[in-house]
């Protein structure tokens, strides 16, 4: 299933599950974020990602440049709490 179809299905299921008053809060928060200009600072499709580094699972610093030297690099971002 293409990504667009998956996202559409998630949106439809959420609209049935989330009460309208909470949907309104979420929509206002999204509109506020967009109005803040936050989207102006993101990497656009087709642009190269800036180099970055972070900690691995065992505390070692690892950089994107090192990872890219070994082949393609896929990043996945998610929000949540632990």
Give me the residue spans of the domains in the chain.
Answer: 3-69
pTM of the model: 0.52
Q: Categorize the per-residue pLDDT at 43 as very low, low, confident or very high, splitting at 50, 70 and 90.
A: confident
Q: How far apart are CA 41 and CA 20, in angstroms?
A: 31
Give the alpha-carbon dihedral of 46, 67, 76, 54, to 10 degrees: -120
Per residue in 13-40, pLDDT (tens digit) is 988 999 999 999 999 999 999 999 998 9
- pLDDT on residue 30: 92
């Amino acid at each position: 299933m293409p990504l667009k179809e998956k996202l559409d299905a998630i949106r439809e299921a959420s609209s049935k599950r989330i009460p309208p008053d909470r949907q309104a809060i979420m929509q206002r928060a999204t509109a506020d974020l967009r109005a803040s200009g936050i989207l102006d600072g993101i990497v656009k499709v087709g642009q190269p990602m800036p180099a970055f580094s972070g900690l691995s699972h065992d505390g070692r610093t690892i950089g994107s440049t090192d990872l890219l030297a070994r082949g393609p690099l896929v990043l996945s971002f998610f929000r949540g709490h632990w």
